Amino acid sequence: MDTINQTNFHFEGQKSLYQGKVRDVYSIGENWLVMIASDRISAFDVVLPRQIPYKGQVLNQIATYFLEQTQNIVPNWFVQSPHPNVSIGRRATPFKVEMVIRGYLAGHAWREYQSGKRILCGVSLPDGLKENDRFENPIITPSTKADQGHDLDISREEIIRSGLVPENDYAIMEKYTHQLFAYGTEHARKQGLILVDTKYEFGLIDGQVTLMDEVHTPDSSRYFYLDTYEAYQQEGLAQQQLSKEFVRQWLIENGFQGKEGQPIPEMTDDFVKMVSERYIHLYEKLTGQKFAKTSSDGIFEKTNQALHQLLIAS
């Protein structure tokens, strides 16, 4: 199928290309970034060997949808999307911290809790919780943002003490994180979903704390179905998830958690197709819009034309 593994374009005004785990990021001139969402998929900070058809399009279109919806809450980097896999926006100076916020004890937080930890990123957790239990109030559990390798849990105090983020800017990031999560929670509820946890990334543009990267996508967020949550929790059943967590669980069940020496299990055609279908389903469930599968043809031409207009205007 038509998938995007990696790109190697040369756009007008291009200065550099950085290939992240799932995005190719082009620096244009002094002020602009182009992010191309590939169909690569990562888990446990490892890029898996096969691409997922339309995954990049899903990620980019969900991200642009929410970036446009939340501009009244927090300033963000996004300017336009000339192709369903592409976003163009303003370049920010990033903070090397991911603001992870959790409304429920799931995923990494549950694995840490299950191992016996009761303090996560400086946040104390009570005894007696079950997997996927709701917290009384959402908690922020930041992590470092590694250019390569694994991100690491870190506390608010460590972030400020180490100088990763100045205290005043961190306070703004905390405020925006809670406001965005409150918005995302209410939006998900209206769509019959629960926003379980998510992450946000921030940087500075003209000295102002600004939201970067993706928002509320299945790669950065975890969703449960609202109508079955309470019954499943009472009966001790696993919650049905709309997120990348099911890929992580499949990897764990097949002996892989990103640790040295562990071989990546084979991703069959049927498994790849199922992952693609779940990404598309989440797009439609979350946005209420029909997903239109789009070819990668024309990415360079459409993006370069849009950049040309931006460079002229600036």
- Tens of pLDDT along 160-208? 999 999 999 999 999 999 999 999 999 999 999 999 999 999 999 999 9
Superfamily, domain 93-243: ATP-grasp fold, B domain (3.30.470.20)
Quote the pLDDT of residue 218: 84
Q: Are 109 and 141 in contact (CB under 8 A)?
A: yes
Quote the pLDDT of residue 148: 56
pTM of the prediction?
Answer: 0.90
Per the structure block, which two tokens stand in for 160? 């400020």
pLDDT of 147 over the 70 cut = no
Provide the H-helix boundaries in the chain.
55-69, 107-114, 156-162, 167-190, 226-235, 245-253, 269-287, 299-313
Instruction: Report the helix count and the strand count for the chain, using DSSP H and E.
Output: 8, 16
- Contacts for 123-128: CB closer than 8 Å, 24+ residues apart: 123/155
For residues 54 and 2, the model is more confident at 54
Signed CA dihedral, 281, 285, 291, 297: sign only: negative
Of 123, 91, 97, 282, nearest to 201 (Cα)?
97
The rounded distance, in Å, linking the Cα atoms of 246 and 223 is 11
Quote the pLDDT of residue 24: 96
Band (243; pLDDT cuts 50, 70, 90): confident
Provide mean pLDDT across the span 261-278. 93
Lowest mean pLDDT of 94-108, 114-128, 236-250, 282-296, name the range. 236-250
The domain locations on the chain are: 14-92+268-313, 93-243
pLDDT of 149 over the 90 cut = no
Classify residue 48 as exposed, middle or buried by CB count within 10 Å of its CB (0-12, 13-18, 19+): buried
pLDDT tens-digit map of 113-136: 999 999 999 999 999 999 999 999
- The DSSP-derived string for 83-110 is ETTEEEEE--EEEEEEEEEEEES-HHHH
Band (240; pLDDT cuts 50, 70, 90): confident
Quote the pLDDT of residue 246: 84
- Per DSSP bridges, beta strands 134-140 and 123-124 are unpaired
Tell me the pLDDT of the chain averaged across its residues: 94
Measured at the alpha carbon of residue 15, what is the angle toward residues 205 and 214, in degrees to the nearest 5? 45
Pick the CATH number of 14-92+268-313 from 3.90.550.10, 3.30.499.10, 3.30.470.30, 3.30.200.20: 3.30.200.20
